[in-house]
Structure 1
């Protein structure tokens, strides 16, 4: 049960094509220094060598040489630097990054000294489209989001609400599409189907609106495509000096032009439904005044935010259209992509590891799950749950987390950090560190999550960072597992998935660790 490593000649070629645009962007930036770059790269022929800090160029030549395989190169650097490495960009770029996968450092930053490590102004500037949403804010605004989200996701009736909505979308969307593909022997992109599923469900949860993107005719949804474009630009902004993307934004060219257009599409989509929601709530105001939000789960997050105390005074107008728009957009990104990406890698790993697939099928034999008994039955599926955790370890949906210290500090590893630096945790690399997970860290091995007593083994969040750690631990963790289990159980019990021959499965160069070319499969009914 081995996960194919991304460094093969075959995947090397496909990843080279994946990162071509980013590589060329770097080359264009440094054309005046290109002869020196070529000379530096010539001396970087040895594999697994740590980046050299060249005069003027910093460690950029090593990044240029390995940009086509940046995820796996990051692993090599972490392995050869004892889990922590200081990256210095060209002297004129002001790029100072401490990359670490040391669990002790993660625990220190994310939990023990949490107050000293906010998201920071640099990150907020890079992710400017997210505004004051929960994923992009700190201090008082973050606490406000956290309070409302907890009241929603932790409400006693939310689980029933989530299960019913997921089941409705399964019956009205996913099953008809899978049946249609099976009857007509049509190849489908399973990743696209999962992404449509989660986009529809997060729209329902966030705004009580079903865009109907998951259907047999697979309609083009501009807002969903706009989310893809935004995430790709997020990654490229992290990969180049800030003055580069800012200059491109000023000129409105390249990916920054795409980013601006995506921003406009998302604004139009979200603002439209904020206006509709306000109109609806205004008409229902008399009945809504008597509703106790502490005893009844609101129909959607937007309603809950609008119904908050309108007289609250603070640094931000929590009732403004802009704040509501920021809020909904953040939930779109979190609710659509993380779950759909994990589901895609899960079925890919099952295809590559038939013994694991057989064990899961055996565990699901003679088990009937429905809306009413889902929670009770799913808690007994230990091996299945372990396989999902193992997928998240090997293919975490969010590639990295960025923090910036407010004050100078010393990490447990002994490294000094200051406010001029950014600290990056790479979750993909963390899941493939022998020092953390053992010599078999590249294997797809659900058994590592099962205790001697046959129960789910708990791994600390600073070691298993798929759902973040500390105060910012993902509130939607249970929601994600619930949706994934309902979808996977339905597919495994009713269909056979076969990956299309020669289909290329490689990761995209994006903040979300999805498959660049989708996941082309054939579907057939198993009974």
Structure 2
């Protein structure tokens, strides 16, 4: 329970902040996400309030939001909540590339850097492209967790991964189904703050507009 409550609070809020930021930088993607959400929830055009919309966000509707899932994942590829992760060696070992490590050594990998490596993701590694996660039918296609390391991999993979996705999709569907977002200063580029989690330095200043009416 502590893992879900503590690890799932700052990490989710940080991911959602970068998600909103990227949607503001790519308004066409924001619109595509909103269209999918409203279609998945069968929301009427004459809906007038958030509560009415939230009541339509069912498990069935969330499963239909494949593009939203891809957009959240693409955000985490470029802005992983934990940008650097370290492990302690319990015994002498040899890494796959032949490098030897000793008991007590600390080995760190960097999901932030890995998400931008062209030899892993291709020449468009620095581009924000949710479509890279979709197959020809528009269905979400997960990558190996050893390639997409935002949730770790193997025996240490995040136990709250599916919970985090569900939580983010619920929040995102209500927010994007009911509101539009724009940066207060559209020329400003967000910079990260060096912390345990990848926070936006100075926070994110945005304007919010009602989609109803």
TM bin (shorter chain): 0.7 to 0.9
Q: In 2, Cα distance between the equivalents of 1:406 and 1:398? A: 22
Cα distance in structure 2, aligned partners of 1:393 and 1:357? 17
Q: Does 1:362 align with 2:31?
A: no
2:203 alignment partner in structure 1:
518
For residues 470 and 450 of structure 1, the distance between their equivalents in structure 2, rounded to whole angstroms, comes to 23
How far off is 1:404 after superposition?
Answer: 2.0
Equivalent position to 1:508, from 172, 179, 193: 193
Question: Following superposition of structure 1 onto structure 2, how do residues 108-507 of structure 1 map, counting pairs within 5 Å?
Answer: 301=1, 328=2, 331-366=4-39, 367=41, 368=43, 370=54, 374-501=58-185, 505-507=190-192
Q: Determine the C-alpha separation between the residues in 1 that align with 2:5 and 2:137.
A: 39
Give me the whole-angstrom Cα distance separating, in 1, the residues matched to 2:119 and 2:204: 31
Q: Aligned pair in 2 of structure 1 residues 473, 371: CA closer, same or farther (>3 Å)?
A: farther
Asked whether the equivalents of residues 57 and 170 of structure 2 are also in contact (C-alpha less than 8 Å), the reply is no
Q: Indicate the SS of the match to 2:176.
A: helix
**Cα gap change, 1:500 to 1:463, in 2 (>3 Å):** same
- From the superposition, tell whether residues 363 and 442 of structure 1 become closer, same or farther in structure 2 (CA, over 3 Å): same
Q: How many residues align?
A: 200
For 1:50-61, list aligned pairs within 5 A: none
Aligned equivalents of 2:182, 2:138: Cα separation in 1: 31
Secondary structure (helix, strand or coil) at the match of 1:496 reads strand
Alignment check: 8 A CA contact 1:504 1:517 kept: no
**Shift, 1:334, TM fit:** 0.6
The separation in 1 between residues aligned to 2:5 and 2:34, in whole angstroms, is: 32
SS in 2 for 1:452: coil
Deviation of the 1:373 alpha carbon: 5.7
Aligned residues of 2:93 and 2:101 also touching (Cα < 8 A): yes
| Deviation at residue 526 of structure 1 after TM alignment | 2.0
Structure exhibiting the larger radius of gyration computed from Cα positions: 1
- Structure 2: where are the runs of 5+ without partners? 44-52
Deviation at 1:464, TM superposition (A): 0.9
Structure (1 or 2) with the greater helix fraction = 1
| Structure 1 unaligned residues grouped into runs of 5+ | 1-300, 302-327
How far did residue 428 of structure 1 move?
A: 0.3
Deviations 1:148-198 (A, max 9, x none): xxxxxxxxxxxxxxxxxxxxxxxxxxxxxxxxxxxxxxxxxxxxxxxxxxx
TM-score normalised by length of structure 1: 0.36
1:376-417 alpha-carbon deviations (Å, 9 max, x no partner): 111111111110110111100011211122222211111111
Shift of 1:521: 1.1
- C-alpha distance in structure 1 between counterparts of 2:211 and 2:31, whole Å: 14
Cα deviation, residue 331, structure 1:
4.6
- Structure 2 CA distance for aligned equivalents of residues 442 and 405 of structure 1: 32
Q: Distance in 2 between matches of 1:371 and 1:474?
A: 29
Find the aligned partners of 1:450 and 1:441 in 2 and give their Cα distance.
16
Provide TM-score, normalisation by structure 2.
0.86
Measure how far apart 1:525 and its partner are.
1.4
**Aligned CA distance change for structure 1 residues 373 and 348 (closer, same or farther; 3 Å):** closer
Please say if residues 23 and 30 of structure 2, whose CA atoms lie closer than 8 Å, have aligned partners that are also in contact.
yes
Q: Does structure 2 conserve the Cα–Cα contact (< 8 Å) formed by 1:431 and 1:437? A: yes
SS at match of 1:388: helix
Aligned-residue offset at 1:361: 2.1
